A and B are shown apart, each in its own frame.
Chain A
Amino acid sequence: DAMVIQNPRYQVTQFGKPVTLSCSQTLNHNVMYWYQQKSSQAPKLLFHYYDKDFNNEADTPDNFQSRRPNTSFCFLDIRSPGLGDAAMYLCATSRDIGGQETQYFGPGTRLLVL
């Protein structure tokens, strides 16, 4: 089945130790998104790629970076994780930009920072 895959499902890192979360998709969608969802809160968009074009949200901390080496893969890099970065990180894809373009979500990676 075509889908959005996130690995790992759970990630434990140490305070200040760089960590990378990965997302892959078999939908061949142009757009890939990363959301941060803290406990009992709404998912919040960090950034998205439209093809190779990177679009950062204004309030996304510099500590968060992303790479998209090809259509299928997108990575979220947290350069120096703090305790406040512990959250569920959701990857999503859509065929194109626009409200009519459904976003398909992966299962998420839960990040724990010790």
Chain B
Amino acid sequence: GEDVEQSLFLSVREGDSSVINCTYTDSSSTYLYWYKQEPGAGLQLLTYIFSNMDMKQDQRLTVLLNKKDKHLSLRIADTQTGDSAIYFCASYGWWNQGGKLIFGQGTELSVKP
């Protein structure tokens, strides 16, 4: 079945770049999303990319999509302590029951001063 996978933890120093990786299994995925979740809070949409794009940049965020390898990454430039959170990759596709978002397990980003 459909699956989205992410590494569970990433630790970086303040000011460095962070790269969070994600792989997905279904080639019918049309949109891929990145959400941020702070402790005890809901999901905040960061950015998304359509499957026919290779790259999307939005201020400090850069999303790269390799559709052939079904690999998605989120790069955060000049990472700050306020970026510490869990980052979820999600794939939107048309599965057996209709369209829905499938989330990865989330990558916990820890930013050290």
Contacts and interface: CB of A to CB of B under 8 A. Distances in A.
> Does chain A bind chain B?
yes
User: How many A residues touch the partner, as a band?
Assistant: 20 to 34
B103 interface: yes
B105 A103 contact: no
Contacts, number: 59
B43 A42 contact: no
Given A55-B97, A57-B97, A99-B99, A41 B45 contact: no
Nearest to B35: A105
A103 B101 CA distance: 9
B106 A90 contact: no
A28 B11 CA distance: 40
Contacts of B31: 99-100
What does DSSP make chain B's interface, helix, strand, loop or mixed? strand
B103 A43 contact: yes
Interface in A83-114: 90, 92, 97-100, 102-108, 110
Q: Among B31, B41, B96, B101, which residue has the most Cβ atoms of chain A within 10 A?
A: B101
Given A43-B88, A100-B31, A108 B42 contact: yes
Nearest to B41: A107
Interface residues of B, number: 27
A107 to B, nearest CB: 4
B98 interface: yes
Interface of B: 4, 29-31, 35, 40-45, 48, 50, 88, 92-93, 96-106
Given A42-B88, A104-B45, A105-B43, 10 more contacts: A42-B106, A45-B101, A55-B97, A92-B43, A97-B99, A99-B93, A105-B35, A105-B42, A108-B40, A110-B40
29 contacts: A4-B42, A6-B42, A40-B106, A41-B105, A42-B88, A42-B102, A42-B103, A42-B104, A43-B88, A43-B103, A58-B97, A90-B42, A92-B43, A99-B30, A99-B92, A99-B93, A99-B99, A100-B31, A100-B50, A102-B45, A102-B48, A103-B45, A103-B101, A104-B45, A105-B42, A105-B45, A106-B42, A107-B42, A108-B41
